[in-house]
């Protein structure tokens, strides 16, 4: 059944399925009991019987619109006064307190309470012979209201727990996504580089005839394989991501490592470094990742020849430029490229307020990263 859209401030949680079924069963049972009583008693169906059934049926209207149900109860109470049926109608109004407190907003509850008191006062004034009936009705209203409040509180707590569980599940999903992204970052930024070096050095070995250079290439392959294995063990170790140090080195160490890697792969690196002051840790790590990714891409897809690495910093920013000459014929390596690394680098640099550019300039493939220091 549709929920009411007219509930005001402090509206109660909607009825659950069990509460709906109980309300409908009670209403149906009361109507059936009234009809059977009239039928078995051999009495004709009078206007009072119709009014009784109508008042009982109004309880089902709470499932559609609580304010409308309260308004109908008020109208029924007026009709009951005019027909002399105010006693039973007041009793039904008292019982309805449970449903009103359970379902309605504070505004509707206040209005219903006013209706109940006005009805009680009217009966006491118009029917002074029924003080006990009014007192019992008010007592029933208090008890019914307390029951409705307990049901309201229980349902509200149920919804809060469900919302908290849903929020916790969303947090856990986000944690899992962050962890997968962290692992993907490290696989790409660190392990993929080592595997690329191994693949390239293996190709170099196939063409290498110099025993000394062959031995150096074998050492490079062994070192890269050991680094990759160590990093894989670190990634799959319990507690990864909790106070685990990153294997990405500082920029200075990465620069020396990448220069050695490029030379071993047959490139001719030309390094110009002008860092007059230490870089902030986040900027230093970001530049190291950009340099590592750029070197990996050059080994995968670049031309074996000159590679220019220029890095500098002043009071405002740190700048890195990596270029590979396109004029040299390309050697196809067959190594795959997913484009993930460049995208993640651009995001990482953007978070730090910097600029990341990867483009072709003349006969060169160029990567530029600029990160603010102030």
Looking at residue 71, its pLDDT comes to 92
Looking at residue 156, its pLDDT comes to 86
How far is the C-alpha of 15 from the C-alpha of 29, rounded, in Å?
Answer: 20
Q: Is residue 326 part of a domain?
A: yes
Q: What single string gives the DSSP state of each residue in 107-155?
A: HHHHHHHHHHHHHHHHHHHH-TT-HHHHHHHHHHHHHHHHHHHHHHHHH
CATH code for position 323: 3.30.565.10
Low-confidence ranges of the chain (pLDDT < 50): 1-9, 240-247, 329-336
CB distance 11 to 65 below 8 Å:
no
What residues have CB less than 8 Å from 106, skipping those under 6 apart?
Answer: 8, 9, 10
Looking at residue 190, its pLDDT comes to 62
What residues have CB less than 8 Å from 311, skipping those under 6 apart?
Answer: 251, 255, 272, 273, 274, 275, 287, 318, 319, 320, 321
Looking at residue 1, its pLDDT comes to 41
CB distance 289 to 258 below 8 Å:
no
The domain total for the chain is: 2
DSSP symbol at 6? -
Task: Report how many helices (DSSP H) and strands (DSSP E) the chain contains, helices first.
Answer: 11, 5
The residue segments making up the domain with residue 341 are: 249-374
How far is the C-alpha of 89 from the C-alpha of 96, rounded, in Å?
Answer: 10
Looking at residue 191, its pLDDT comes to 67
CB distance 13 to 156 below 8 Å:
yes
CB distance 78 to 42 below 8 Å:
no
Looking at residue 335, its pLDDT comes to 47
Give buried/exposed letters for 231-249 (b at 16+ CB in 10 A, else e): beebbeeeeeeeeeeeebb
Looking at residue 29, its pLDDT comes to 92
Strands 317-325 and 355-361: unpaired
pTM for this predicted structure: 0.49
196: helix, strand or coil: helix
Please check whether residues 159 and 59 belong to one and the same domain.
yes
Last residue of one domain, picked from the residues 106, 133, 168: 168
Last residue of one domain, picked from the residues 148, 168, 188: 168
Please check whether residues 22 and 142 belong to one and the same domain.
yes
Q: Is residue 201 part of a domain?
A: no
Q: What single string gives the DSSP state of each residue in 226-256?
A: HHHHHHHHHHHSTTTTSSPPP----HHHHHH
């Amino acid at each position: 059944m549709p929920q009411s859209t007219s509930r005001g401030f402090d509206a109660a949680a909607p009825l659950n399925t069990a509460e709906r079924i109980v309300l409908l069963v009670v209403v149906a049972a009361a109507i059936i009991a009234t009809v059977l009583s009239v039928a078995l008693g051999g009495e004709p169906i009078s206007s009072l019987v119709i009014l009784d059934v109508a008042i009982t049926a109004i309880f089902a209207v709470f499932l559609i619109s609580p304010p409308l149900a309260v308004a109908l109860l008020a109208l029924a109470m007026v009709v009951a006064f005019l027909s002399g049926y105010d006693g039973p109608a007041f009793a039904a109004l008292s019982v309805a307190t449970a449903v009103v407190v359970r379902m309605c907003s504070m505004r509707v509850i206040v209005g219903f309470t006013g209706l109940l008191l006005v009805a009680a006062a009217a009966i006491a004034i118009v029917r002074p012979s029924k003080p006990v009936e009014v007192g019992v009705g008010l007592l029933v209203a208090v008890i019914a209201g307390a029951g409705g409040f307990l049901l309201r509180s229980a349902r509200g707590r149920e919804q809060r727990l469900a919302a908290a569980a849903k929020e916790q599940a969303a947090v856990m999903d986000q944690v899992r996504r962050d962890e997968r992204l962290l692992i993907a970052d490290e696989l790409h930024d660190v392990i993929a580089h080592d595997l690329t070096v191994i693949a390239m050095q293996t190709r170099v070995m196939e063409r290498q005839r110099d025993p000394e250079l062959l031995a150096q290439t074998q050492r490079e392959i062994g070192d890269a394989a050991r680094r990759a294995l160590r990093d894989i063990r670190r990634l799959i170790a319990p507690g990864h991501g909790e106070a685990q140090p990153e294997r990405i080195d500082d920029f200075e160490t990465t620069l020396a490592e990448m220069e050695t890697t490029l030379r071993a792969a047959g490139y001719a690196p030309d390094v110009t470094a002008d860092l007059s002051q230490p870089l902030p840790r986040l900027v230093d790590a970001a530049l190291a990742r950009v340099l590592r990714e750029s070197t990996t891409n050059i080994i995968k897809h670049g031309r074996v020849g000159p590679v220019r690495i220029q890095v500098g910093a002043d009071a405002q920013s740190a700048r890195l430029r990596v270029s590979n000459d396109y004029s040299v014929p390309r050697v196809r390596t067959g190594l795959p490229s997913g484009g993930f690394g460049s995208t993640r680098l651009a995001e990482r640099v953007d978070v730090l307020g910097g600029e990341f550019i990867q483009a072709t300039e003349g006969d060169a493939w160029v990567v530029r990263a600029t990160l603010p220091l102030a």
